[in-house]
Structure formats: C-alpha cells, structure tokens
A = this chain, B = another copy of it.
Amino acid sequence: MRPESRKQEIINAAAILFKEKGYSAVTMRDLAKAMGIKAASLYNHIQSKQEILSTIIIGLAEEFTVGMNKIVNSDENTIQKLENIIDLHIDVTLRNADGLASLNNDWMHLEEDNLQYFEKMRQEYEDNFRDIVKKGLEKGEIKPYNVEIMVFSTLSTLRTLYLWYPEQKEIDSDILKRDMISVLLKGVA
C-alpha cells in the first residue's frame, strides 16, 4: 500500500460522490464531510472544484486515447482489434469505475480548454472505432449491418460497464471478458 497523497484521496472521494449524485449536486461541504474535514481545508490541497473534475476526466480520456492508438496501429485483424477494445474498457473500468461515471455524465461541466480537449479526444476515439468496423466490413470480417448501429451498440455497452461491474464481484474478470466478447460479437440468439 503506497500512501496516496492527500490530494489524490480527495479526488478519489470526489469521484465516488460525483458518481452518486453528479458533479453539480455535490458541494464542497459534502466532499469535506466525506473526508472528515471542513470545506475550507480542501483548498490546502486543491485549487478548485473544477480542478478535481478535470483531473478525473482528462486522465481517463488520455488513457483511452493511448490505448486506442495502440490498437489502431497494430496489425491484427478486425475481430482481434474489437476484442482489444473490449479489453481496454474492462481494464480501465476495473481500475477506476468511479472516475468513469464523471467521464460519462459530467464531461459537459468541464471549462473551456479542457472541454475542447476532451471533445477532441472523444471524437477521435469514436472515429477510430468506426474506421475499424468499416474496414472489417469491407474485408468481410464483419456482418453487413449499419456501421453506426454496430459502433453505437458496442460502445454503449462498454461505456456503461462502470455502472454494472462493481456490483458483479462474483464474476471473474476473465469470464467477464470472454462472455462480453461473445455477446457483443456473436449475439445472444
């Protein structure tokens, strides 16, 4: 157990509260109470409420960007790439499910520069995803359904993992990966 910095403790506590009620509904006094201190004391460690949010979201977005770039630039086939994307989402979710709630639901409360930066990363991530599916379709590695529907459907499931996985502790992470890949790629029927 390496000791976490006080700042990181605050950010982790904030992520939990943001997950439960959303960024706007969590006050600095709520956060302070969760930390067992007074609201003003938080400012010995952080600069602003906004800084907490951007630290949570931008860090995660960059993780996805790095992961996706590796997958796109690999020479694996389409199915393997899709499997790797599923892997990426499961890994990030296991490591920081609370933070993903903010990324999914509170990104619009980022301020100017970080908001633009985030939206750019998200756009590129989705474009990369779409390109993988499109190429798979051209090569006949994927069924000829509407590309947008396939991308949306898969991404919806992966994005929502954060809500669901923490409650399914009995499911081993390898079984999760295997069945998730099966369900998304081969369907249920």
Contact = CB atoms under 8 A, between A and B. Distances in A.
A4 interface: no
Interface in A148-168: 148-150, 152-154, 156-157, 159-160, 164, 168
A21 to B, nearest CB: 6
Contact of A179 (B145, B164, B171): B145
B184 A150 contact: no
A108 interface: yes
Interface residues of A, number: 43
A184 B108 CA distance: 29
A146 B175 contact: yes
Contacts of A185: 187-189
A34 interface: no
A164 B154 CA distance: 12
Interface string A51-71: 000000000000000000000
A169 to B, nearest CB: 12
Given A20-B108, A24-B22, A105-B105, A176 B189 contact: no
Given A141-B189, A157-B156, A159-B160, A150 B183 contact: yes
21 contacts: A22-B105, A22-B106, A22-B108, A23-B25, A25-B109, A143-B187, A143-B188, A145-B188, A146-B171, A149-B171, A149-B183, A152-B157, A153-B180, A154-B188, A156-B160, A157-B157, A184-B187, A185-B189, A186-B186, A186-B189, A187-B187
